[in-house]
C-alpha cells in the first residue's frame, strides 16, 4: 500500500510534496524581534528534513504581543525586510514551502524564556504591561493584565492586518493565525479568560468575534487562494472552559470564510488544566473536526512514530501530521519515516551518500 504520509497534498495554491508539517517552535533567540543567525541555522536544518511544510515560530504582530523579549516580530517594515532576507537565504538551498505563524501572546506575554523559568517578567527584569480581554492573570500570583478597550482592539486588528501584509511581502507561502495555547485570541474565545460585557464577551458568538474579524481582515490584504490557516486549542482541558463543541462552531465559521487549513492542538489557557498526556492524545479532536469540515486538518501532539502518523492518515482522522519537538530531537525524522514506510523523500544531493545500504531509492533530488 502506498504511504499516505508521503503522498502530495494541496492547500489552496500550495502543493506540498508530502503530509508532514513542521509545527511552529519558539526559539527565544531574536533581538528586538529580529531573526538571528540561530534562526538561519535552525531553520536551515529543518528545511533539509524533507517535510512537506515548515511553519516558522510564533511571530508577534506587536512588540507587547511577544511571549518573551526574545521572540520574533513582524510589527515593522524593518522586521519584514529581515524576514525576507531569511526566506531568501533558506530558498537558496531548499524548495520546502515556508509558512509563518502570526501571533499575540496577550496576558502570557512579557515572560522569561523557558530555560530561565518562563515566569512573568517585571519592568525591572525587562518585562512590560500585558493586555487581555479581561484583567484576569494567567496565574493568580501574576500581575493582572490591562483589559483591552474597544480602541485597543481596533489597534490589535490593524496589527494583524499589517502583519499579514508584511508576511506576504517577505515571501512566505502561507500564514497560520495563532488562536491557540492560551494566547490573546484564545483568551478572547474562552469564558475562563473573557468576562467582558460588550460585543466581544458573553455569548459564544461574541467571544468568537475578534478571531473571525482578524481572519477576515487578513484575507482582505492577501491574494485570492493564498493559504491562510489557523491554529486552535480544541479544549482548555478545564471545567467551564473552551471545549470541542465551541471548536466545532468556530470551524464552521472559518470554513464559510475560506480558511485554508485548521491546525488542531489543545490546552495552554488554564493554569489548572488537566491533560492526559499519551501518544496521539489530541488526535480525537482533529478527527471530530475533520468529520464536519472540508478544510484540511492538521493533527499534532505526541505523534512521534512513522507508523503512528501513517495510521492516523489511513484511518482518515486528519489530513496532515504536525511534528515539532521530535524534530528538535531528530531533525531528519522525515528521512527515517520515509525509509520505514518505503517512500522517497526530497534531500540535498550533498547528503545522498548517507543513505543506508539496506534502504533503496530513499532520496529524491532537490
Supply φ then ψ for residue 265, to 5 degrees.
-115, -160
**pLDDT value at residue 365:** 74
Report in angstroms the alpha-carbon separations of 199 from 176, 194, 196. Answer: 25, 12, 8
Buried b (16+ CB within 10 A) or exposed e, 242-252: bbeebbbebbe
Contact 320, 295 (CB under 8 A): no
Q: Which helix (H) or strand (E) holds 288?
A: helix 283-290
77-127 pLDDT tens trace: 999 999 999 999 999 999 999 999 999 999 999 999 999 999 999 999 999
Round to whole Å and give the CA distance between 259 and 248: 14
DSSP 334-347: HHHHHHHHT--EE-
Question: Which spans in 9-131 are helix H?
Answer: 37-47, 77-91
- Residue 203's domain comprises 9-364
184 domain residue, yes or no:
yes
Nearest to 185 by CA among 270, 105, 68: 105
- What's the half-sphere exposure (Cβ side, CA atoms, 13 Å) at 74? 30
- Give the chain's end-to-end CA distance (angstroms, integer): 25
3 domain residue, yes or no:
no
33 domain residue, yes or no:
yes
Is 139's pLDDT higher than 90?
yes
257 domain residue, yes or no:
yes
Torsion angle (degrees, nearest 10) of CA 264, 269, 274, 277: 40
4 domain residue, yes or no:
no
314-364 pLDDT tens trace: 999 999 999 999 999 999 999 999 999 999 999 999 999 999 999 999 998
Is 287's pLDDT higher than 90?
yes
4-40 pLDDT tens trace: 999 999 999 899 999 999 999 999 999 999 999 999 9
**pLDDT value at residue 101:** 98
Is 1's pLDDT higher than 80?
no
Active site residues: 183
Residue 288 maps to which CATH number? 3.20.20.70
Neighbours of 322 (CB within 10 A): 27
Q: ∠ at Cα 232 (248, 265), nearest 5°?
A: 100
The mean pLDDT of the chain is 97
Mean pLDDT of 219-228: 97
17 domain residue, yes or no:
yes
Total domains in the chain come to 1
Round to whole Å and give the CA distance between 260 and 297: 9
| CA dihedral for 56, 62, 66, 70, sign (positive or negative) | positive
Contact 105, 60 (CB under 8 A): yes
**pLDDT value at residue 154:** 98
Contact 317, 286 (CB under 8 A): yes
Round to whole Å and give the CA distance between 238 and 273: 5
Over pLDDT 70: what percentage of the chain? Answer: 99
- Strand pairing partners for 15? 10
Supply φ then ψ for residue 243, to 5 degrees.
-140, -175
| Strand 174-179 to 98-103 pairing | parallel
294 domain residue, yes or no:
yes
Is 366's pLDDT higher than 80?
no
Amino acid at each position: 500500500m502506498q504511504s499516505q504520509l508521503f503522498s502530495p497534498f494541496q492547500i489552496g495554491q500550495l502543493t506540498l510534496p508530502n503530509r508532514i508539517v513542521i509545527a511552529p517552535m519558539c526559539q527565544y533567540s531574536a533581538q528586538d524581534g529580529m531573526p538571528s543567525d540561530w534562526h538561519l541555522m535552525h531553520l536551515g536544518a529543518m528545511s533539509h528534513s524533507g517535510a512537506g511544510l515548515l511553519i516558522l515560530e510564533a511571530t508577534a504582530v506587536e512588540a507587547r504581543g511577544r511571549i518573551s523579549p526574545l521572540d520574533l516580530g513582524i510589527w515593522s517594515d524593518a522586521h519584514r525586510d529581515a524576514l525576507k532576507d531569511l526566506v531568501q537565504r533558506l530558498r537558496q538551498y531548499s524548495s520546502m514551502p515556508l509558512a509563518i505563524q502570526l501571533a499575540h501572546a496577550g496576558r502570557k506575554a512579557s515572560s522569561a524564556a523557558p530555560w530561565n523559568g518562563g515566569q512573568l517578567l517585571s519592568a525591572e527584569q525587562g518585562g512590560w504591561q500585558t493586555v487581555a480581554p479581561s484583567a484576569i492573570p494567567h496565574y493568580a500570583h501574576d500581575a493582572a493584565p490591562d483589559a483591552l478597550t474597544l480602541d485597543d482592539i481596533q489597534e490589535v486588528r490593524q496589527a494583524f492586518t499589517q502583519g499579514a501584509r508584511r508576511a506576504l511581502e517577505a515571501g512566505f507561502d502561507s500564514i497560520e493565525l495563532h488562536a491557540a495555547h492560551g494566547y490573546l485570541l484564545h483568551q478572547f474565545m474562552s469564558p475562563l479568560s473573557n468576562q467582558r460585557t460588550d460585543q466581544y464577551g458573553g455569548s459564544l458568538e461574541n467571544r468568537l468575534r475578534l478571531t473571525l474579524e482578524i481572519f477576515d481582515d487578513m484575507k482582505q490584504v492577501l491574494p485570492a487562494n493564498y493559504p491562510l490557516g489557523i491554529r486552535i486549542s480544541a479544549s482548555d482541558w478545564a471545567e467551564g472552559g473552551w471545549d470541542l463543541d465551541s471548536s466545532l462552531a468556530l470551524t464552521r465559521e472559518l470554513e464559510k470564510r475560506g480558511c485554508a487549513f485548521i491546525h488542531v492542538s489543545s490546552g495552554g489557557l488554564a493554569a489548572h488544566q488537566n491533560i492526559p498526556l499519551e501518544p496521539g492524545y489530541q488526535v480525537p479532536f482533529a478527527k471530530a473536526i475533520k468529520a464536519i469540515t472540508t478544510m484540511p486538518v492538521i493533527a499534532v501532539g505526541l505523534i512521534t512514530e512513522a507508523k503512528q502518523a501513517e495510521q492516523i492518515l489511513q484511518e482518515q482522522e486528519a489530513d496532515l501530521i504536525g511534528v515539532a519537538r521530535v524534530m528538535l530531537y531528530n531533525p531528519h525524522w522525515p528521512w527515517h519515516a520515509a525509509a520505514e514506510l518505503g517512500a522517497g523523500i526530497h534531500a540535498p544531493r550533498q547528503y545522498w551518500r548517507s543513505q543506508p545500504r539496506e534502504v533503496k531509492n530513499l532520496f529524491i533530488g532537490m
